[in-house]
């Protein structure tokens, strides 16, 4: 039994072809939107790629860009096909192309859905990438004179100022790394020497943070040093100090930033997928309805169109048998009589003698 069977008159078939022609052109625009969303996401990720441990998450914008370009090409071809399918004679030119076109469109629609789902599921991978990348970048914050790392200080400072964050998970992360270059340490000062010697790795660690951690919302001067010792500051107020530094970690700030972008893109891509699924369904109805008209031999008659000619179970079983039979085509039968000469083959065939009469 056919799934989704509908009867179409000649007028309805022509109307369906015209509507699908218009929808395919709209789908070309949605392909441009997909391309633009992928390009925008790629640019946003590359803005802070220096604080990410890997660039594996770039496969999401690359997939959106590729899918957008494919949408433009496939739907442009679809608009041409649907316009010609209004006429039975013109449909014959596309009859052999229709099924491969529908299969390609189905695969493309599945890629659109996959792109939407990836935008929702990439959060955990992005979180891990940001954590490891920020930890590595903070470790090289002081290396302003090292090639390849000289811009990390500027990048981290701009990140903390723009996103109003401090450290990886919070401002105390700066306490566990040496973020001041050894060039600026006064090694003649006994206090500096004692602090370096007291560390197993010979690092100059302090309970202080860079200037970019200072909150611009605070009316009092920023307290950057001796943060673990409230008694070191006159008129120290714990509540005021909480407003003095950015309390949120940069990992969470960037994660929230990218999550908001991903969710907006995922919702847009999901709507595009639903629209493409509608167009694919309409093309399938048009194909089956026109093929049935050709079988009937009367272009003016009514014809039936469907999504699947048989039920889902029968269609799945039929396709499974096709795949199974394809594997058998490459199997060689183990016949014990192969390559064994027969008695008939051993007999020599006498040559054909032709008599030629000679006349003088």
Q: What is the pLDDT of residue 312?
A: 64
CA atoms within 13 A on the CB side of 230: 8
- State how far the Cα of 326 lies from the Cα of 226, in Å rounded to an integer: 75
Strand partners, 8: 303
Q: What is the pLDDT of residue 360?
A: 41
The proportion of the chain whose per-residue pLDDT surpasses 70, expressed as a percent, equals 81
Long-range pairs for 285-293: beta carbons < 8 A, 24 or more residues apart: 285/4, 285/6, 285/8, 285/16, 286/13, 286/16, 286/17, 286/20, 286/82, 286/85, 287/85, 287/98, 287/99, 287/102, 289/8, 289/13, 289/16, 290/13, 290/85, 290/88, 290/91, 291/95, 293/13, 293/88
Query: Among residues 89, 116, 125, 84, which one has the least CA distance to residue 101?
Result: 84
Least confident of 108-117, 253-262, 311-320: 311-320
Average pLDDT over residues 218-234: 75
More confident residue, 310 or 24: 24
Sequence spans of domains, the chain: 3-137+252-316, 145-248
Whole-prediction pTM: 0.77
Burial track 67-89 (b if 16+ CB lie within 10 A, e otherwise): bbebbbebbebbbebbbbbbebe
Average pLDDT over residues 341-353: 52
- State how far the Cα of 1 lies from the Cα of 261, in Å rounded to an integer: 45
Q: What is the pLDDT of residue 318?
A: 59
pLDDT band for position 56 (cuts 50, 70, 90): low
Average pLDDT over residues 288-293: 86
Q: What is the pLDDT of residue 73?
A: 92
- Contact status, residue 216 vs residue 163, Cβ threshold 8 Å: no
Burial track 236-246 (b if 16+ CB lie within 10 A, e otherwise): eeeeebeebbb
**Residue 345 reports pLDDT greater than 60:** no
Tokens 């048009």 belong to residue? 286
Q: What is the pLDDT of residue 290?
A: 85
Query: Among residues 83, 85, 73, which one has the least CA distance to residue 27?
Result: 73
- State how far the Cα of 159 lies from the Cα of 154, in Å rounded to an integer: 8
DSSP result, 274-337: HHHHHHHHHHHHHHHHHHHHHHHT-TTS-EEE-SBSS-HHHHHHHHHHHHHHHHHTTPPP--TT
- State how far the Cα of 214 lies from the Cα of 244, in Å rounded to an integer: 6
> Which pair of structure tokens corresponds to residue 241?
């100090």
Average pLDDT, the chain: 82
If you average pLDDT over each of 124-128, 203-207, 243-247, 352-356, which comes out highest? 124-128
**Residue 334 reports pLDDT greater than 80:** no
Q: Is 338 helix (H, G, I), strand (E, B) or coil?
A: coil
């Amino acid at each position: 039994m056919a799934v989704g069977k509908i009867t179409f008159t000649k007028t309805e078939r022509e109307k369906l072809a015209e509507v699908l022609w218009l929808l395919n052109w709209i789908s070309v625009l949605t392909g441009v939107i997909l391309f633009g969303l992928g390009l925008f996401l790629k640019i946003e990720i590359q803005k802070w790629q220096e604080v990410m441990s890997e660039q594996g998450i770039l496969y999401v914008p690359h997939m959106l860009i590729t899918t957008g370009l494919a949408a433009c090409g496939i739907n442009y071809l679809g608009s041409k096909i649907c316009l010609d399918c209004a006429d039975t004679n013109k449909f014959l030119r596309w009859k052999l192309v229709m099924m491969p076109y529908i299969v390609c469109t189905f695969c493309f629609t599945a890629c659109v859905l996959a792109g939407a789902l990836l935008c929702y599921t990439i959060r955990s991978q992005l979180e891990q990438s940001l954590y490891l990348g920020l930890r590595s970048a903070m470790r090289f914050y002081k290396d302003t004179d090292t090639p390849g790392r000289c811009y990390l200080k500027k990048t981290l400072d701009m990140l903390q100022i723009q996103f109003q964050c401090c450290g990886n998970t919070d401002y105390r992360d700066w306490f566990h790394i040496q973020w001041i270059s050894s060039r600026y340490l006064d090694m003649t000062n006994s206090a500096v020497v004692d602090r370096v010697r007291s560390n197993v790795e010979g690092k100059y660690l302090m309970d202080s943070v860079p200037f970019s951690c200072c909150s611009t919302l605070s009316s009092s001067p920023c307290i950057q040093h001796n943060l673990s010792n409230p008694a070191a500051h006159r008129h120290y107020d714990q509540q005021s100090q909480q407003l003095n530094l950015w309390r949120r970690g940069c990992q969470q700030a960037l994660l929230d930033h990218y999550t908001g972008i991903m969710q907006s893109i995922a919702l847009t891509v999901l709507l595009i997928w639903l629209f493409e699924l509608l167009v694919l369904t309409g093309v399938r109805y048009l194909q089956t309805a026109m093929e049935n008209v050709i079988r009937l031999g009367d272009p003016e008659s009514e014809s039936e169109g469907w999504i699947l000619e048989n039920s889902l179970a029968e269609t799945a079983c039929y396709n499974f048998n096709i795949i199974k039979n394809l594997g058998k085509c490459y199997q060689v039968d183990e016949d014990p009589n192969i390559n064994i000469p027969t008695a008939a083959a051993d007999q020599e065939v006498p040559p054909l003698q032709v008599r030629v009469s000679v006349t003088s």
